[in-house]
Structure formats: C-alpha cells, structure tokens
Amino acid sequence: MRFYNTLSKRIEQFESIEKKSVKMYTCGPTVYHYAHIGNLRTYIMEDILEKTLEYIGYKVIRVMNITDVGHLSSDADTGEDKMVKGAKRENKAVLDIARYYTDKFKEDCDRLNIKWPSVVVNATSMIDDYIKFIEHLIDTNYAYLSGGNVYFDTSKLENYYKLTNHSEDSLLEAVRDDVSTDDNKKNKTDFVLWFTKSKFDDQELKWDSPWGLGYPGWHIECSVIALKYLGEYLDIHCGGVDNIFPHHTNEIAQTESYVGHKWCNYWFHPEHLNTQTGKMSKSSGEFLTLSLLIEKGYSPLVYRLFCLQSHYQKQLVFAYDILDATKNTYDKLIKRINSIKDDDSVLDKEIIDVYQTRFREALENNLNTSNALTVLYDLLKSDVNNNTKIYLIKDFDQVLGLNLITNKVIDNELEKYILKQIDLRYEAKKNKNYALADKIRNDLLDQGIVLKDTREGTTFDLVK
C-alpha cells in the first residue's frame, strides 16, 4: 500500500506500527452548520482509505472528534467562534446547535456510505484532559501564561514547519490573515491552548481551570483525544488540505512536545472541491449541501461516484453539468449490473484472483479510485460468467461503497407503490396533516426514494 504522505512530501510505502493493525485519526466537523459537499469529499476519500486498508487485510481503529467548542472563524486565534456564530444565527444554545448538526452530519455520512468511525468524541467531553495536558506543557516550559491566556511557545521547537513546504517568512506572509497579532504572544506563531475571560466574553461555554474561567483553544482537542483513544504512536492522521496549517502543524507541535517523540508517521490530506467561481465555502454563493443535491434529484451515491472518478490529490471542480454526466454514468452502471442474473455458473477462482489483484493494485497505488473503477467496467464488459461477475462486484463494492448490487432500477411494481405514497402525502397536506406528510416523505427517503415538489406536481427519483 502506497499513498502520499504530507509529512515527507512524497508517496510512501505504508508500514503500520503494529502488524496488520492501523490506528487512524480523522479531524471531525465543526458542528455549527451543515457540512458542504466539499467537506464531504474529504470524508469520502478518508472512507476509501480506511476501506482499502481493511480490504487488503488490516484492522483499522479510527477515531474522530466532533468540534462543539472553540473553533475560531479565522482557523487561528482570532475572529469569531464558529459555534457561537451558529448559536447566534439560530437563536439557540451552543450545545443544541452541536447536537442537531452532529446528527445531520451523521445522516450525510450514512447516505454517502461513509463508515462511521470506531470512536467519536465530542470536544466538550474532554475538558479535564485538556487541563492536565496544558499543565504538563507549562511544567516542561513549552507553554506560558500571558494576559490571562495560556500559549504554546513555538520557539522551543527545532522545526515547527516540518509539515509544510514553506520557509517561516513565506508561510507567515501567505497566511497572514490566519496568524494572530495578539500582543500577549512571545512569537507570531504561538497559539492559544486555553482562553480566559480576557477574550471572547460572549463565549457561552466556559469551564473552571487553574488559569481562570475559560475554554480550550481549537487545536488541543485532536491531540488529546487521539492520545487518549489511540495512544502515543499514531499511524495515520487525516484531514483536508486546509487543516495542514495551522491546525495540524500545531497538533504536531503540542503533541510531540508532550510525548517527547515523533507522534504520527503518515498525514493524509485530500484536496479541495471548488466551484467554478472559486473555493467552496458556507458564506459565499449557493451553499452546496448533500440535502440540496438530493432536492435537485441527485443520489448521494452519484456524488460519491463523482468524487471517485477523480484523484484525491487533485482539486476537483463541481458543476451541475458534470454531475449530470455522472448521474447518467451511475444509472447506466446500475442498469447493467441489474441485468446480470444469478445462474448455474460456477465461480471461477482464477478469474477472481486476476480481477481482485488488478483492483487491489489500483487502490494500493496511491488510492487510484479512477483505475479501480476501470477494473469494474472491464469486468462488466468481459465474458466472465454471471456468478463470478456478481461475486466480484460485491467484493469491489466493499471499498467503492456505491450499492452496486442492492440498488435497483425502478420497475412497474415499485413505481405503483411510490405513486400511491405520493397520493397519500398529497391528501395529508391537503388536510393539513403535515406530520403525516413529512413521515411519508422521510419513509420513502429511508428506502432510497427522494420526492421533489414542482409546479407540475411531485416527481421522484432513486437516491440509493
């Protein structure tokens, strides 16, 4: 297995610390809003990495945080807290916002066939652990108290920038908006481990600490959660490319200062998904969520296929005409697979070995999902017998996650059933029984059928 390691700046052969066992950490969402589809591209590719490792024989333990406190809008130590921002926007308590959007993120992952991690931890559940971690860094002179806040001292490190390709001057110039000019800092790149009342007085969530009433800085949660649930040696740390600096840079700084040795061997960073007008965000242009795509009639698995057709190290541009082409590809793929019927043919073990080897080699070569899909297409075009084809399609879908066998085209009986449900929903709405109308819609969605209300009436499509 080979993939690009951000730490070494090259594609490396993967070697786990423990034989056939992988400890993987994933930077989770900040749950102040829906995840946009750019965020979800990262999680899709991390899912492919995990499932590939399992496919080739590893046992993977993956841990993910849920950021429900302390993530600042500038991704550094300045700006508005994203959780506070979300609470103000919806006039709700921060933890209520966090619970709601955590559930919505889980729903998105389920619809995209993204495996939920072995361990998922809310940042707010680890406050005592953060305090102990910070106390140790203060005791060992890696952190200092200034102006009421606790800061990590980056000048104590020989190579603070080892995860990036930049020199100190060029990096600071490139990310000047993300580097705080806080006068309490000894160095420009020092970062906050604990905030007190000296900053962000509108912060709703605060806890007692040896340094005053306050709350943790954003970067600390991943370090402490990973150490608690995965130990002092980590195989793979995942996140989007926007996490490299300062978030992952700061994670390495504080964690290796705490443990006294190298912490993580491999860093995995899928590239951005952009719109045709630039970087995707939640504050500019149409807010592209998975639910929006579903409302427009696209299956979540069409979007998953859209991502798999490109390489995770390449920036991917989203456009509806490209998604339309992908939908056409997906529909044809499912129709072709539906036409393959179980018969009396005997599994051809030699053919299975040949195709599995090709599929595995594509994925082991820096997760080349496009080539892995080509192996699937070649299989479908081949004269391999039906039962062997079905066996291999199921086998490949363990990684691809496209519901290749379970998905069905709409037949007459299914269409009659859906139309009857649409009529029942119409009557429910007419009688102002909106709870029943919503239940019918949600029940259909759970079955992989999305309804779309138009001026001409209600239409439907399969989303799984």
Can you tell me the mean pLDDT for 172-186?
Answer: 61
The yes-or-no verdict on residue 378 having pLDDT over 50 is yes
Can you tell me the mean pLDDT for 254-272?
Answer: 97
Classify the C-alpha dihedral 8-10-11-13 as positive or negative: negative
Return the beta strands (E) in 217-318 as ranges: 234-238, 264-268, 273-275, 278-279, 316-318
Query: Topology of 16-270 in CATH?
Result: Rossmann fold (3.40.50)
The yes-or-no verdict on residue 175 having pLDDT over 60 is no
The pLDDT value given to residue 49: 98
Q: For residue 154, give the amino acid letter.
A: T
Crossing angle of helices 220-230 and 249-259, in 10° steps, is 50
The yes-or-no verdict on residue 285 having pLDDT over 60 is no
User: pLDDT tens for residues 209-247?
Assistant: 999 999 999 899 999 999 999 999 999 999 999 999 999
The pLDDT value given to residue 83: 73
Where are the chain's structural domains? 16-270, 274-400, 412-462
User: pLDDT tens for residues 299-340?
Assistant: 999 999 999 999 999 999 999 999 999 999 999 999 999 999
In degrees rounded to 5, what are phi and psi of residue 297? 95, 15
Question: Which residues does 99 contact at the CB level (< 8 Å), separation at least 6?
Answer: none
What is the rounded CA–CA span in Å between residue 429 and residue 460?
17
Contact 264, 179 (CB under 8 A): no
Can you tell me the mean pLDDT for 145-171?
Answer: 84
Average model confidence (pLDDT) across the chain: 90
Note every long-range contact of 396-400, with CB atoms under 8 Å and residues 24 or more positions apart, other chains counting: 396/359, 396/372, 398/51, 398/54, 398/55, 399/48, 399/51, 399/52, 399/55, 399/359, 399/363, 399/372, 400/308, 400/369, 400/372, 400/373, 400/376
The pLDDT value given to residue 174: 42
In degrees rounded to 5, what are phi and psi of residue 401? 65, 40
Tell which phi-psi region holds residue 141, choosing left (phi > 0), alpha (psi between -120 and 50) or beta.
Answer: left
What is the rounded CA–CA span in Å between residue 323 and residue 367?
22
Crossing angle of helices 386-400 and 369-381, in 10° steps, is 170
Q: Please name every residue paired with 12 in a beta bridge, in sequence order, or none if there are none.
A: 3
- What pLDDT band is residue 432 in, cutting at 50, 70 and 90? very high
The pLDDT value given to residue 81: 72
Give the max Cα distance, the chain. Answer: 77
Tokens of 25: 């950490």
User: pLDDT tens for residues 42-101?
Assistant: 999 999 999 999 999 999 999 999 999 866 655 455 556 777 777 778 787 888 899 999
The yes-or-no verdict on residue 353 having pLDDT over 80 is yes
Closest by CA to 60, choosing from 18, 102, 29, 28, is 18
310-333 burial by CB neighbour count: b if 16+ within 10 A, else e?
bbbeeebebeeeebeebbebbbeb
